[in-house]
């Protein structure tokens, strides 16, 4: 039996809200058609897919998790230059910020 998309969306929305309540979280949602609050995460997912996982096959879920963890912790947060930070790596930006705060 095929489900209509509306039924599926309603079920997912209910399950999603239930998980949020279970873990004491609050969803970040803007008005319909306003995607600006989600732009940073969408940008991150695009980078992750383009720079790491696109056309990649991992032998196990553990291999995929390890590769993604390494990408985020080693490359994305410490080495990758971000246009939003003036084309410097986040670690360099944070060090400069701490230095300026101490001065």
Residue 7 domain-assigned (yes or no): no
Alpha-carbon gap, residue 96 to 69, rounded angstroms: 25
Residue 73 domain-assigned (yes or no): yes
Residue 12 domain-assigned (yes or no): no
pLDDT for residue 62: 97
Number of domains in the chain: 1
pTM: 0.59
Residue 48 domain-assigned (yes or no): yes
* Per-residue pLDDT tens digits for 16-73: 888 889 999 887 666 666 666 677 788 899 999 999 999 899 999 999 999 999 999 9
Using alpha carbons, select from 8, 12, 30 the residue that is nearest to residue 20. 12
Domain span holding position 55: 40-103
Q: What is the mean pLDDT of residues 88-101?
A: 92
Residue 25 domain-assigned (yes or no): no
Residue 14 domain-assigned (yes or no): no
* pLDDT beyond 90 at 93: yes
- What is each CA distance from 24 to 17, 20, 21, in whole angstroms? 10, 6, 5
Q: Give the 3-state secondary structure of 37-58.
A: HHHHHHHHHHHHHHHHHCCCCC
């Amino acid at each position: 039996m095929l489900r209509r998309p509306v039924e599926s969306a309603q079920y997912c929305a209910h399950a999603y809200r239930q998980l949020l309540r279970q873990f004491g979280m609050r969803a970040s949602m803007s008005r319909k058609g306003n995607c600006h609050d989600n732009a940073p995460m969408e940008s991150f997912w695009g980078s992750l897919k383009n720079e790491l996982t696109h056309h990649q096959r991992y032998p196990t879920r553990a291999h995929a998790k390890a590769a993604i963890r390494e990408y985020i912790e080693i490359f994305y947060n410490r080495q990758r230059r971000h246009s939003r930070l003036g084309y410097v790596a986040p670690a360099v930006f944070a060090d400069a910020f701490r230095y300026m705060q101490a001065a």
